[in-house]
Amino acid sequence: VEVMTGAKAKGLSTKRDALLVETVDGKSTKIAADKILVTVGRKPLTEGWGLEQIDLDRAGKFIRIDDQCRTSMRGIYAIGDVTGEPMLAHRAMAQGEMVAEIVAGHKRSWDKRAIPAICFTDPELVTAGLTPEEAKVLAGEIKIGQFPFAANGRAMTKQGEDGFVRVVARADNHLVLGIQAVGQGVSELSAAFGLALEMGARLEDIAGTIHAHPTQGEGFQEAALKALGHALHV
């Protein structure tokens, strides 16, 4: 798969068999295609409902909030895509639940680091927490464990052996900082990834948890074992 970042789609070719593209360096090129999928992205809905009548601090085009979804004006909370990235439905739902509990007098706070993000492509992609590059900036020395689905029994039976699970952790105390996965059906592993980050799991916690066989979830355990230097099936 070739990924072109910073490029602009300019339209169809005269024969309607290719996409005309302007690359990041300003050059023109064609991409042969039978079908073209157009996705326009997302933007916060901050106009047309009265935001201009109240003076809320902004973070660029988004409404600025704290870890309890409070805005700069007392008694006004904001949730969802108007509050910035990640612009995900499950983030908005979690924020709404938290705000309701805060209004009801409970103590809650917000931390977006444990929110999984999924691309429902083929193969699927999941990421939760920090990437290796982000983790190095935060923690310095890190440990990475990666397990290929080519060595996973369930992936073999599903004939979906492409992909992997990767665990990123601090080198000093083995605290898990991020988890990524690529493969058929890996979106179903996102709950386990989010839970591990939310609970402050260490590599030993994941490696020491018995995972049912044959499941793709075993790849999560195997990745943690790999990071610890005790890989069983790689």
Count structural domains, the chain.
3
| 104 and 138 belong to one structural domain | no
Domain that holds residue 62: 53-110
CATH code assigned at 179: 3.30.390.30
Catalytic hit among 174, 213, 230, 233 = 213
| 31 and 136 belong to one structural domain | no
146, 148, 154, 158 alpha-carbon torsion, rounded to 10°: 140
Does 12 reside within a domain? yes
The model carries a pTM of 0.81
Does 45 reside within a domain? no
Whole-Å CA distances, 154 to 85, 183, 188, 213, 226: 34, 12, 14, 8, 19
- Is 213 an annotated catalytic residue? yes
| 91 and 17 belong to one structural domain | no
Question: What tens digit of pLDDT does each residue of 72-124 get?
Answer: 999 999 999 999 988 999 999 999 999 999 999 999 887 778 899 999 999 99
Question: What tens digit of pLDDT does each residue of 167-215 get?
Answer: 999 999 999 999 999 999 999 999 999 999 999 999 999 999 999 999 9
Does 149 reside within a domain? yes
Q: What is the pLDDT of residue 50?
A: 86
